[in-house]
Amino acid sequence: MKVKLHYAWVILFITFLSLLAVQGVRLSFGAFVEPWEKDFSMDRGTVSLISTLSFIVYGLSQPIIGKLVDKFGARLILSASTFLVAISILLTAFVHHPWQLFILYGIFVSIGVGGASNVAATVVVTNWFNEKRGLALGIVEAGFGAGQMLLVPGSLLLIQWIDWKWTVVILGSFLMIIVFPIVLLFLRNHPNEKGMLPIGGNNKEESTIEQQGTNTNFSIWEVFRKRQFWFLILPFGICGFTTTGLMDTHLIPFAQLCGVPTSVTSAAVSILAGFNIVGILISGVLADRWSSRKMLFFLYITRALSLIILLYNYNPTLLIIFAILFGLVDFATVAPTQLLATQYFKQYSVGFIIGWLFLSHQIGSALGAYVPGLLYSNIGNYNLSFYFSIIILVGAAIFNLLLPEPNKIKKDLEAESQSISYN
């Protein structure tokens, strides 16, 4: 007897592919640092400023993207964003001055990357999965790891074999010719567009959550007054500082500073990305079964410990060991953070809340890209940046441990409701 594949899994694959391609291009920034320094006579701090501008634009776009996804649907936003990144990254091959890079990469690529991000992906998963949602969020987030594993070392090697200009032409063509048509033609915003129910069906509780999760008539100040909001936002900003900011921008230049061969650096990035995928999938499965706040405490502490390795890393072996350990906890924080956000803020717009969450992440990423670059330009190494990152990661772990359990909040609300009804 044939078992028919639910279209939700097709949706999940398309979303995964979109994030793999678009975010993989963004995560390849570190591979272009040295070529841009040479071609445009820029120092490390100025090149880092391009990444910083990119993260700021990306971050500021997130609440807006959340509103647009709620209004127009994830299909339109994801497909348009993929096309914008394709055109913009391709056009960087024709720039002659640094200010053109700031505009094309720092602004236009970043707007597109902000659209093809976790905000739209989380809404898609929420619509299509009433069961196995943690696993689905983990698989979507694995798109980042897959993009990192394939496109970052691929870009690094292509730059070495040909040059950076042909590399961006190849990346832009891949997005435009392959990824964009797939997203536009096959992605659907909601199961009812296919005459289907989401995985897990429409039970009463999920139907209520769905109605509440698209509510746009609420005061943002009401959200700002909640402890849960800040105890999720601040650690996620630190997450951005230490991952897409510090590591994705500066790990490759750091390895080159240490004299690590390009082949070993590429292998380390691939290993990091591979273990990143493993960590993401494990965290997605555990998020459905274990306390997300306790998981986040463990992940941030482990990330802090992994950075200690870089303080002694002047040989390829330690770089590989770091790649394994850091990879396991790199993007693994996203699924439990997203799940907690959807549990704490069921009565608000899901896209809007997730947008604010990733605004925090991108502000952290912007600082994590620029500050280490500025410090390197002044003191000639990354040690101070690594020490600072270790300290703030311990702080992030403590913030998450202080969060309440979502089921406790639910029980307290039910008890309060019963008390009001009784009175």
Q: Identify the pLDDT of residue 211.
A: 45
Whole-model pTM: value is: 0.73
Q: How far apart are CA 344 and CA 407, in angstroms?
A: 10
In a domain, 412, yes or no: yes
In a domain, 51, yes or no: yes
The neighbouring-strand residues paired with 129 are 199
Q: Residue 372 carries which side chain, given as an amino acid letter?
A: P
> Cα 222 to chain center, whole Å?
26
Q: Is pLDDT above 50 for 205?
A: no
256 CB-contact burial (10 Å; exposed 0-12 / middle 13-18 / buried 19+): middle
Structure tokens at 260: 């690590």
Q: Residue 10 carries which side chain, given as an amino acid letter?
A: V
Number of domains in the chain: 1
Q: Which of 54-58, 157-161, 172-176, 203-207 has the lowest mean pLDDT?
A: 203-207
Q: Identify the pLDDT of residue 209.
A: 42
Find the domain containing 335 and state its range.
Answer: 7-422
Residue pLDDT, tens place only, 363-414: 898 899 889 988 988 888 889 999 999 999 999 999 999 988 877 655 554 5
Q: Identify the pLDDT of residue 152.
A: 86
119 or 84, higher pLDDT: 84
Q: How far apart are CA 171 and CA 150, in angstroms?
A: 12
Find the CATH number of the domain harbouring 15.
1.20.1250.20
**322-332 average pLDDT score:** 91
Q: Is pLDDT above 50 for 1?
A: no
| Confidence at 298, pLDDT banded by 50, 70, 90 | very high
129 φ/ψ angles, rounded to the nearest 5 degrees: -130, 110
In a domain, 180, yes or no: yes
In a domain, 36, yes or no: yes
Q: Identify the pLDDT of residue 111.
A: 94
Q: How far apart are CA 131 and CA 140, in angstroms?
A: 15
Interaxial angle between packed helices 227-240 and 350-379, expressed in degrees from 0 to 180 and rounded to the nearest 10: 40
In a domain, 1, yes or no: no
Tokens 């605004």, located at residue: 359
In a domain, 156, yes or no: yes
Q: What is the overall mean pLDDT for the chain? A: 84
**40-47 average pLDDT score:** 86
Residue 411 CB partners (closer than 8 Å, separation 6+) = none
In a domain, 17, yes or no: yes
Q: Is pLDDT above 60 for 285?
A: yes
**252-256 average pLDDT score:** 86
Residue pLDDT, tens place only, 8-37: 999 999 999 999 999 999 888 888 988 999
Q: Is pLDDT above 70 for 348?
A: no
| Confidence at 318, pLDDT banded by 50, 70, 90 | confident
In a domain, 274, yes or no: yes
Residue pair 121/140 in contact (Cβ under 8 Å)? The answer is: yes
Q: Identify the pLDDT of residue 84.
A: 97
329 or 133, higher pLDDT: 329
Q: Identify the pLDDT of residue 164.
A: 93
Q: Identify the pLDDT of residue 413.
A: 47
